[in-house]
Amino acid sequence: MWLLYALASAACFGMRGILYQWTSQRRLDRNLMLFGVYLSGVVIAVASNVVAGQAWTAGAWIGVFMGLFSFGANAAMYRGYAVGKASLIAILASLSPVVAAGAAYAVLGEKLSGLQSLSFGIIIIGILMIRYSNDISLSNLQGAGWGVLTMVLFGMTDATTKMATLHGAQTMPALTVMYATGSVLFFLAWLRGTWMRRGQDTSANAALASAAAAAKELAAAAESGDGRTKAASRDAADNAEPTPVVAERTTATADRRPAPWSFSRTLLWGMFVGLTNIFGMMFALPAFRVGVTGLVSAVMAMSVLFVLLYARIILKEKFSRLEIGGILCALLGMVAMRLVS
């Protein structure tokens, strides 16, 4: 039964990756959008628990750590989709079972058989092939660093999710704590970003006002000064205001850019995207409750197939031979790990 839950979770997370990639190319506030994702999770988890009536136990508070790791993973994945190749970010994020299995072995004492360990070795070879493909170099990482960070943090999210189930946490209470934690963190990140932008706008306005005042002073002095002062005033005026041609080009360039999304539109879209996140976790917890951490995480990582198909068919991304080999090797490792479970 855990396999069906894990596959359903993989489908939800695959759709989440596609929506993240699409959203990352739009002019909106990233932290506000992700706050909407987690706020949606809180609303649905609380409403579901009103109906289900699941008991709150001490294990549910492990959801705080689930929220911390999930917060970092989602932020890193979204950033990776914004600056890198969708296929690369997706395949690196899907390799989180390696981290999850290692954490489960070190903390929970879960062990893998020889064949399962071999499967992990195949996955690691796939990682190295992707890392050293022709499209990825030290001068052009294409978001690979964000993909690796996503992999590590999602692996830790899976490990703490398993830990929560071992401590008797019910699904809805644990998810309520997890999404409440993530909501608070993304809300604070959005507030910080808003304050920083306001500070930058204030500084820019002050600089413009100072430049305008200086130009006026020079202009006033020029009326009673010598030729050199008049020349200086003309230079100041030229620097203070752009020429009509430059201003016209700047306005035309700005007009071609789409308008940034409003507060309400960004928040509501984030809450819609959050449906894929919360439903994926609602399927993940029952799977972790009865399955081995590394194996459940590996099946859930098959969500990469959805993103890869999207990247190839919709985004028209081309893969190098070495990158294709790395992707196939990693997927082969996942399939092998399932077969030997």
Q: Is the pLDDT of residue 295 over 80?
A: no
The pLDDT of 57-74, averaged and rounded, is: 93
Q: Is the pLDDT of residue 294 over 70?
A: yes
- What does the chain come to in residues? 341
Residue of 120 and 290 predicted with greater confidence: 290
pLDDT of residue 203: 67
pLDDT band at 230 (very low <50, low <70, confident <90, very high): low
Residue of 7 and 185 predicted with greater confidence: 185
Most confident segment among 30-34, 108-112, 302-306 = 30-34
Q: Are 270 and 39 in contact (CB under 8 A)?
A: yes
Selection from 21, 82, 41, 17 nearest residue 185 by Cα: 41
Q: Is the pLDDT of residue 224 over 80?
A: no
pLDDT of residue 201: 66
The pLDDT of 239-262, averaged and rounded, is: 59
Terminal-to-terminal C-alpha distance of the chain:
14
How far apart are the C-alpha atoms of 137 and 152, rounded to whole Å? 21
Residue of 42 and 92 predicted with greater confidence: 42
Residue of 44 and 335 predicted with greater confidence: 44
Bridge partner list, 137: 140
pLDDT band at 246 (very low <50, low <70, confident <90, very high): very low
How far apart are the C-alpha atoms of 291 and 237, rounded to whole Å? 72
Q: What is the pLDDT of residues 138-158, one digit of tens each?
A: 444 556 788 888 889 988 999
Backbone torsions φ then ψ of 242, nearest 5 degrees: -70, 155
Most confident segment among 83-92, 116-125, 144-153 = 144-153
How far apart are the C-alpha atoms of 114 and 106, rounded to whole Å? 17
Q: Are 57 and 133 in contact (CB under 8 A)?
A: no
Q: Are 300 and 9 in contact (CB under 8 A)?
A: yes
The pLDDT of 194-198, averaged and rounded, is: 85
Q: What is the pLDDT of residues 36-51, one digit of tens each?
A: 999 999 999 999 999 9
The pLDDT of 209-237, averaged and rounded, is: 61
How far apart are the C-alpha atoms of 20 and 43, rounded to whole Å? 20
Most confident segment among 115-119, 204-208, 233-237 = 115-119
Three-state SS for 245-299 is HHHHHHHHHHHHCCCCCCHHHHHHHHHHHHHHHHHHHHHHHHHHHHCCHHHHHHH
Q: Are 14 and 166 in contact (CB under 8 A)?
A: no
The pLDDT of 1-24, averaged and rounded, is: 88
Where does residue 63 rank: exposed (0-12), middle (13-18), buried (19+ CB within 10 A)?
buried
